[in-house]
Each structure stands twice: as structure tokens, then as C-alpha cells.
């Protein structure tokens, strides 16, 4: 059965199963991430969070709901159909943050690919993040030690900024390059 669910439905599920909603359709989240995934996450959190100390932007990480409304006026829980839990995300408009997570597009999202979620991060989430206006999107490939960086252009489409590998430093574009992430440190 292909029943479409809203965020209001999502809030009623008390079974502790982690899910995301893609335009109202349920996608289960893979089991706990690998130790490699967790190490990379921790290293990125440390770098970004340290940089953000005393700045107006804030870093969040999974599990944390990001709700994507179709319009700014369409924020009723019964009309929200896309709810994702990015691995990491940065929000600079703190009015988007409430007790349930983020309402609207974060400025930066980082997804770390695991064996069970590669299609979801590379294709499905890419389309959603682009559609809803996430300014910068990173896809981290731990096994290959690569990071693909995409930036939203003036037409609202992602353009591949670059592909980075161990040995490279990635400038975080939403901060105009004031923060660089050293991939030697991330992948060690």
C-alpha cells in the first residue's frame, strides 16, 4: 500500500523506528552507522562547531528532523510531507530552529554515505535539497575518501563545485572559505 503520510502522522509514531518522509512516503533509516561513519561525523562536528563558536550559525546532527515545507505559508504539520534527518547540517537563520528541529532549508548539509543509503544520499536527497534551496551540499564517501561538494547556483540548480580527496582542504563556501576542512584529519 502506498499511503501518503504527513508530518502530523509522523509525530504520532512512538515505536522508536527511525524514518524519513519523502514527499509523504516512508523511507526507513539504515541501522546504526559504522564506526568509520561515526568517526568522520565526530571529526566534522568538532571542526565546524569550533569554528561556529560565538557566530550566528548553528550546527546540528542526526537524529534531528529537517522539515521542508512547499511554501513559507505552508507550515501546518498536516501539509508537511518531506522530513529528513541529515547526518550534519548548519543553519544560519536561527528563526528556522524550533523544539522539533529545523523548519526550512539549512544552509549546509553533509551526508556521509553508507552501504545501505548511497542511492538515497546521491539521488533522492540530492533532488530534495536542490528543490528546497539548501545552499551547499556535501556527499562524503568514506571508502573512497572523497567528498563531492555542490553549490546552488542563481537558477536554483546544483553545480558541482569540486571533488575533494585525502590531502585536500575543502573551503566551506557558506562561510566564504573562512573555514577549511582538512581531509587528512577527517579520513585519518
Structural domains in the chain, CATH included, are 33-64+83-187 (3.90.1570.10)
- Tens digit of each residue's pLDDT (9 = 90 or more) over 160-175: 899 999 999 999 999 9
pLDDT (mean) for 25-29: 84
Q: Band the pLDDT of 117: cuts 50, 70, 90.
A: low
pLDDT grade, residue 116 (50/70/90)? low
Average per-residue pLDDT for the chain:
91
DSSP-derived letter for residue 15 is S
Alpha helices in the chain (DSSP H): 7-10, 35-52, 118-119, 125-132, 183-187
Amino acid at each position: 500500500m502506498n499511503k501518503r503520510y504527513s508530518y502530523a502522522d509522523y509525530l504520532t509514531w512512538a515505536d522508536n523506528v527511525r524514518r524519513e518522509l519523502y514527499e509523504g512516503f516512508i523511507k526507513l533509516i539504515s541501522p546504526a552507522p559504522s564506526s568509520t561513519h561515526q568517526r568522520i561525523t565526530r571529526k566534522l562536528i568538532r571542526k565546524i562547531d569550533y569554528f561556529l563558536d560565538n557566530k550566528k550559525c548553528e550546527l546540528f546532527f542526526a537524529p534531528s528532523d529537517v522539515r521542508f515545507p512547499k511554501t513559507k505559508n505552508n507550515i501546518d504539520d498536516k501539509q508537511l510531507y518531506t522530513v529528513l534527518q541529515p547526518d550534519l547540517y548548519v543553519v544560519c537563520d536561527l528563526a528556522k530552529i524550533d523544539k522539533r528541529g529545523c523548519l526550512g532549508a539549512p544552509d549546509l548539509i553533509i551526508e556521509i554515505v553508507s552501504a545501505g543509503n548511497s542511492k538515497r544520499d546521491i539521488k533522492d536527497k540530492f533532488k530534495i535539497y536542490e528543490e528546497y534551496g539548501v545552499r551547499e551540499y556535501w556527499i562524503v564517501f568514506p571508502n573512497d575518501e572523497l567528498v563531492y561538494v555542490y553549490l546552488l547556483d542563481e537558477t536554483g540548480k546544483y553545480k558541482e563545485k569540486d571533488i575533494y580527496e585525502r590531502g585536500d582542504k575543502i573551503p566551506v563556501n557558506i562561510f566564504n572559505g573562512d573555514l577549511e576542512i582538512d581531509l587528512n584529519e577527517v579520513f585519518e
